[in-house]
Chain A
Amino acid sequence: MTSLLEITGYRLAFDGFEGRAQVLDGIELTVQAGETVGIVGETGCGKSVLARSIARLVEMPPGRVLGGAIRFEGQDVFAMDRRALARLRGHGVAMIFQDPMTYLNPVFSIGTQMEDVIRAHDRAEGRRMRPRAAAHARAAELLAAVRLPEPDRLLDRYPHELSGGMRQRVLIAMALTGDPRLLVADEPTTALDVTIQAQVLRLIAELVETRGLTLLLISHDLGVIGALCRRVVVMYAGTVVEDAPAEALYVRPRHPYTRGLLAAVPDLARPDHRAQPIPGHIPNLLDPPSGCRFHPRCPMAIARCAVEKPLLREVDGHRVACHRAEEAA
C-alpha cells in the first residue's frame, strides 16, 4: 500500500545575492493516512517551506529543487500536470496558514471567496461547476461546521470586519471545502490571542476526529504539537533530526537537539526548574556546517560529527539522525 505522503531525500535551495541557501537538505518523511504528525523546529529551520512544497506552492525561481521527491498517494508532486495539480490542491492537500489577517483577499466578501473555492473544486473533480447560489448555500454549511454563528450574514461581510479568530475559522472552512485527505496547518494559532488559540486548536482536533483527517501540524511550540499530534518530527536547519511517537519523544528524546529543545521550554508547574537555552545560533544556510548541521552547538559532538552527515536510523523506536543516538538516552 502506498503511503499518503512520502518525501524522500528532498533537497531545496534558494538562489540569492550571496549564493545558494540550502534550505532543505535531504528531508525524509512518510505520513500514513489517519496519522497526526507534528513538525517542530526553530524559526528558519525550513518547516514552512517544507509544508508549502507539499502543495507545490514554493516559487521557482528563486527556489530550486536539488534532488529527491515528494509523492502524494504515490504521485510525484513536481511531475503533476495542471489538472492533477488542481486536484491535489484543496482536494488532496489543504492548507491553513499562520496569519489569518493576510490570507483573505481584502476586496472580496467572505462569500465570494468561499464560492470561488467551492466552484474551483467542482471543476477540479470534473463535476459541473455549481451555480453561485448553490455554492453560497454550501459555504454557509461549511461556516456552520467550523462553529461560526450566523453563517449567512457572515458571507456578506469583508475580511477586515472579522476578528482574527473568525478569519482563521473561515480559512479552516475553506480548507475543508474539498474534503482533503491531508490537512497541513502551518502555525495555525501563532498569530492569535492565547484564549482564541485554545478554541482553534480544539476545533482542529475535533475536525480531525470527526472527519478522519490526516494532519500535518507545523509549529515552533511543543505544547501545541503535543496537544494534537501522536507523532512528532523535529527539524533542525533543513534536516529531520528525530522522528518518533510523541510520548516517546517527550519522555526519552534521542537527539541532543530535541533534548535541548525540551529543556528550553519553561515549566510553569516547576518554577524552580530554569529553562535552559541552547547555546549558539542557528547556522547560516549559505554555508552550512559540514557533517551534522547541529554539531557546532551540540554538547555531545565528536570529531566524526563534523565530517560525516548522520543518516536517519532506527534506534529504540525512534528514527534519529545522530551518530551517538544510543548514548543519548
Chain B
Amino acid sequence: MSLALQRPGFAARHAATLRQLRFYAWSFGRSPSSMLGLAIVLLFLALAAFGPWIVPYPGDGSGAMNLSNRLKAPSAAHWFGTDEMGNDLFSRVVLATRTSLWVGLTIVGVATLIGVPLGIAAGYFGGWVRMVIMRVTDIFLSVPGLVLALAIVAALGPGILNGVIALSLVWWPGYVRLVEAKALALRSEPFVEAARAVGAGHGRILALHILPNCTSPIIVKASMDMGLAILSAASLGFVGLGAKPPAPEWGAMISVARTYMPNWWWYAVFPGFAIYLTVLGFNLFGDGLRDILDPRSSRG
C-alpha cells in the first residue's frame, strides 16, 4: 500500500523561483532607463542579425565604388548621406553592428574565460596563489586597458583582429578583482563551511557553491563591458590602429570622416551616434540588471 503523493505542477514546484523572476521583471520594468536600455540592446541585436536583409544597399558594406554619388547629404535615398566612395552611410552604419557585436562578444568572452577562473582561484584558495594572481592583476590594472592595448597593437601591427586580441588580453583583470572579492567573502559563508565540514571536495564546492553565487555580478559586469569593449575597439579604429576601411566599423569610419569635416558633417555624425547609442544601451541595461541582481553594489 502506498500513498501516492501527487506531483505538484511546474508552477508549484518552482514557485519560489518564479516569484523571484516576477520580482526581477517588476523592478526592471519599473525603471524607464532600464527599459530604454533593453530596447536599444534588442534593436542592436536585431540589426546585427538581420542587417544585410534590411539595408537598402547591402553591397556597400564591404565598400563598393560609386564615385558619382560621393559625399551626398542625407536624403530620402540615402538617409545618412554617402561617403567619399559613394557608399550609402545608412547601410554601412547598420552593417557595422555585426562587427561590433562579434568584437564585443569576443573581448568580453575571452576576458571572462581568463578572469573568472583566476578570480575564483585567488579568492577561494587564498595564500600565495591569491598573492601572485592579485599582484599580477594589480599590475595590469595600473594602466588603462586602452593604453596597454595600444602598446600591444603597436607591437602586433594594426588591424581589427589584432585590436580585438589586444583588448581581450587586457580586459580580464577587472573580472579577477570582481570574482576574487566575491569568492573570498563566500569562502567563509556558513553554507560553504558546512559543505566543507561534510567532506565536499574543492571541485564540488567551487562548482556548486562558489561559482553560482558569483554569476550575478559577472552578468552585470559583462553586460556593461559589452558596451565599453565596443567603444574601445572603435577607439582603436579611430586612432588608426583597429579596423581599416573599407571594412564597416564605426571608429574607422569616423577616422576617415574626420578629414571631411566640417563640410561633410554627416559622415562622422551618424557612425558616432551609433556608437553612443550602443554603449548607452548596454550601460543602461547593465545598470538595470545591477539594480535588480546586485543592488548592494551600485558603484561607478
Contacts and interface: CB of A to CB of B under 8 A. Distances in A.
Chains A and B touch each other in the complex, with CB atoms below 8 Å apart: yes
A17 B292 CA distance: 12
Interface string B3-42: 0000000000000000000010011000000000000000
Interface in B102-118: none
Interface residues of B, number: 3
A17 B29 CA distance: 11
Nearest to B22: A17
Interface in B23-80: 23, 26-27
Interface of A is mostly: loop
A318 B28 CA distance: 50
Interface string A11-22: 000000100000
Nearest to B30: A17
Contacts of A17: 23, 26-27
A17 B27 CA distance: 7
Contacts of B27: 17
Nearest to B27: A17
A291 to B, nearest CB: 28
Interface residues on A, range: under 10
Interface in A1-42: 17
A17 B23 CA distance: 7
B295 to A, nearest CB: 13
A17 B26 CA distance: 7
Contacts of B26: 17
A257 to B, nearest CB: 31
A189 B26 CA distance: 39
A42 B26 CA distance: 31
Contacts of B23: 17
A17 B22 CA distance: 10
B105 to A, nearest CB: 33
A14 to B, nearest CB: 16
Nearest to B26: A17
Interface string A27-67: 00000000000000000000000000000000000000000
Nearest to B19: A18
B26 to A, nearest CB: 5
A17 B28 CA distance: 11
A18 to B, nearest CB: 8
A93 to B, nearest CB: 33
B30 to A, nearest CB: 9
A17 B25 CA distance: 10
B31 to A, nearest CB: 13
B24 to A, nearest CB: 10
A117 to B, nearest CB: 31
B19 to A, nearest CB: 9
Interface string A88-126: 000000000000000000000000000000000000000
A17 to B, nearest CB: 5
A20 to B, nearest CB: 14
A19 to B, nearest CB: 11
Interface string A224-254: 0000000000000000000000000000000
A17 B30 CA distance: 10
A275 to B, nearest CB: 29
A308 B26 CA distance: 35
Interface string B191-209: 0000000000000000000
A16 to B, nearest CB: 10
B259 to A, nearest CB: 54
A233 to B, nearest CB: 35
B141 to A, nearest CB: 28
B75 to A, nearest CB: 50
B228 to A, nearest CB: 31
A284 to B, nearest CB: 14
A17 B295 CA distance: 15
A17 B20 CA distance: 11
B268 to A, nearest CB: 45
Nearest to A18: B23
A287 to B, nearest CB: 15
A17 B31 CA distance: 13
A61 to B, nearest CB: 13
3 contacts: A17-B23, A17-B26, A17-B27
Top 3 A-B residue pairs of the complex, sorted by shortest distance between their CB atoms? A17-B26, A17-B23, A17-B27
